[in-house]
Structure 1
Amino acid sequence: MRVVITGGTGFIGSILTAKLRESGHDVIILTRKPSFEQNGVQYVQWLTDNASPENELGQVDAVVNLAGVSINDGRWTTERKKQIHDSRITATQEVLRILRSLPEKPSVLVNGSAIGIYPPSLTEEYTESSIVVGDNFLAKTVYDWERLASHANDLGVRTVFTRFGIVLGKDGGALPLMKLPYLLYSGGKIGSGNQWFSWVHVEDVANAIIYSLENNAIEGPVNVVAPSPMHMNAFGKTVAKVLHRPHWFPVPSFVMELTLGEKSMIILQGQHVLPDKLLKNGFTFQYPSLKPALEDLL
């Protein structure tokens, strides 16, 4: 396949690019830098004045849209929330414009998304058939993002919304910050500890995206989470066990709220999410359980 990726140099995108190249696929990454080629990957300029990436892409088989300002960096000020929301909308609008301009459409668009679309809950269990949407900032952002990307269907492009859980990686995602208190011998229960933590190893994220590209039966929302979500307290205990550190120092909710502001909801609230569609379509997780995933990453 010839795959175009936005956000291809980011945490998930770089791992996805490597896996696609290892499998023999051609990869084009859309970037704000001038067009160039490196290590067999073509970089094509976009989202700058006078950029016309559609003229450089040639035949495209698939598009993966991962572009957007990180939700993990900095406090969620009013300005930061606008950047998080608008960066996703702007990138997706440009992806749709490019799709419309291509004489021959790709067969599939995989649009990055998040389980944050679901309302926080201690009791509900969410699969792709769940149609409820939360009323917080993150849920509204994801909803707007998916609704816009769904217009690719109008062009005859199979559209997939990969709703990522809390992605764990060695050098990116949530894990570097979450392991820090344990390395300092001060890890412990965060908030009530009963909030759900629907996690996923970054290798499984990349594999799930490729699986969605290659399987015509997969479309619409896809929960990209490990099949074994945990309560936050159990997650912390597992981190402590793998790192051979104590799990003893509780962090009250108000401390997290003072430290992180509105962004604390990612840690203090959670959703019990299951990867129903991936499992029913035969996807095999490389890391279905937390302890082996953490042993690999830590």
Structure 2
Amino acid sequence: MKIVIAGGTGFIGKKLAQFLLQEGHQIVLLTRGVYSNHENITYVRWMTHDAAPEKAITSADYVINLSGTSLSKGRWTKKQRDRIYSSRMNATRELLRLIRTLAQKPAALINASAIGIYPPSATATYSEESTEHADNFLGRVASDWEHAAKEAERLGIRTICLRFGVVLGQNGGALPLMALPVKLFGGGRLGSGTQWVSWIHMNDVVRAIRFVMDHDQIRGAVNVTAPQPVHMDELGRMIATVLHRPYWLPVPSALLKLVLGRKSAMILNGQLVLPQVLTKEGFTFDFPTLKPALENLLINK
């Protein structure tokens, strides 16, 4: 298959591209940078003043949108929040423009989103059937991003919005940052520790993306989280257990807010989110529970 990926050089995108290449698919990566093509992978410039991706791409079996400024990058100043928001909206609109030009339309648009669309809660349980949307920055970003992507449905294209949880991987995301103080013997509870963490192993992320491609009945929102969320304190303690390190130095919420500013909400707020669609459709997780996932990522590298 010919699969076009926006954001294919990012944290999830790199792993996804490698996974799809191993299956023998033809990958087209949309990028602002300059890269050399090689077997089964083509780089196409886009989102620059002189870019015309429609001249290089005339057909696609699937289009996957993972593009957007990282939430982890920099403090959430007004300028950075605008950059996070606009990068997602602009990339999605440009993808839709590109799709309209294709002689062969894709079978589906698979668009990234996030569980931040759900309101933070210590008691609620969210599935794809939940209608509540968070009235905060992350909630508005995710909600507007999904709304923009669903414009593809007007073109008759199946559209899936992947609501990613906390993705645990080796070379990016939250895990290396959380494991570092533990490795340095300074690990401890973050904030109250009671906030929910709806996590997922990177291997299951890329496998879930591949799964929704193959299942035509799946459309709309899909929670990409492991079936057993944990509290933040349990996550921290399990990291310490796996690394054989102490877990003793708590970091108060006030200190996190002082150091991280608005971005501290990513640590101090949480949601219990279940992957109802994936489970119902028969997806099998390689890492449904936390300890084996952490052992795989932190020890069995």
**Considering the TM-score relative to the shorter chain, is it more than 0.5?**
yes
- 2:238 corresponding residue in structure 1: 238
Aligned to 1:90, the other structure's residue is in SS state helix
1:30 and 1:43 in contact (8 A); partners too: yes
Is residue 47 of structure 1 aligned with residue 47 of structure 2? yes
Map 1:97-246 onto structure 2 (within 5 A): 97-246=97-246
Counterpart-to-counterpart distance in 2, 1:58 and 1:155 = 16
How far apart are 1:38 and its partner, in Å? 2.3
Task: Write the letter of the residue equivalent to 2:245.
Answer: R
CA gap 1:268/1:35 in 2 versus in 1, 3 angstroms: closer
Counterpart-to-counterpart distance in 1, 2:109 and 2:132 = 23
Counterpart-to-counterpart distance in 2, 1:272 and 1:120 = 9
1:214-254 CA distance string (max 9 Å, x none): 11011100000011100111111100100001111111100
1:35 and 1:45 in contact (8 A); partners too: no
How far apart are 1:59 and its partner, in Å? 2.3
2:238 and 2:291 in contact (8 A); partners too: yes
Counterpart-to-counterpart distance in 2, 1:148 and 1:53 = 20
Task: Write the letter of the residue equivalent to 2:227.
Answer: P
How far apart are 1:103 and its partner, in Å? 2.4
Task: Write the letter of the residue equivalent to 2:244.
Answer: H
Aligned to 2:37, the other structure's residue is in SS state strand
- 2:9 corresponding residue in structure 1: 9
Task: Write the letter of the residue equivalent to 2:215.
Answer: N
Aligned to 1:49, the other structure's residue is in SS state coil
How far apart are 1:50 and its partner, in Å? 2.9
Aligned to 1:191, the other structure's residue is in SS state coil
- 1:282 corresponding residue in structure 2: 282
Task: Write the letter of the residue equivalent to 1:274.
Answer: L
TM-score (norm 2): 0.97
How far apart are 1:33 and its partner, in Å? 3.0
Which segment drifts farther, 205-214 or 61-70? 205-214
Aligned to 1:139, the other structure's residue is in SS state helix
Task: Write the letter of the residue equivalent to 2:207.
Answer: N
Task: Write the letter of the residue equivalent to 1:179.
Answer: A
Counterpart-to-counterpart distance in 1, 2:186 and 2:35 = 47
1:198 and 1:272 in contact (8 A); partners too: yes
Map 1:74-113 onto structure 2 (within 5 A): 74-113=74-113
Is residue 255 of structure 1 aligned with residue 255 of structure 2? yes
TM-score (norm 1): 0.98
Counterpart-to-counterpart distance in 2, 1:100 and 1:200 = 34
1:116 and 1:142 in contact (8 A); partners too: yes
Task: Write the letter of the residue equivalent to 1:121.
Answer: S
Aligned to 2:29, the other structure's residue is in SS state strand
Structure 2, unpaired ranges of 5+: none
Which segment drifts farther, 189-198 or 28-37? 28-37
Counterpart-to-counterpart distance in 2, 1:229 and 1:87 = 29
Task: Write the letter of the residue equivalent to 2:106.
Answer: P
1:109 and 1:159 in contact (8 A); partners too: yes
Aligned to 1:263, the other structure's residue is in SS state helix
Counterpart-to-counterpart distance in 1, 2:83 and 2:39 = 31
Counterpart-to-counterpart distance in 2, 1:128 and 1:209 = 16
Counterpart-to-counterpart distance in 2, 1:249 and 1:227 = 29
1:127 and 1:223 in contact (8 A); partners too: yes
Between Structure 1 and Structure 2, how many residues are aligned? 298
Aligned to 1:37, the other structure's residue is in SS state coil
Counterpart-to-counterpart distance in 2, 1:179 and 1:23 = 32
Counterpart-to-counterpart distance in 1, 2:262 and 2:39 = 41
Aligned to 1:167, the other structure's residue is in SS state strand
Counterpart-to-counterpart distance in 2, 1:186 and 1:36 = 43
Which segment drifts farther, 39-48 or 236-245? 39-48
1:36 and 1:44 in contact (8 A); partners too: no
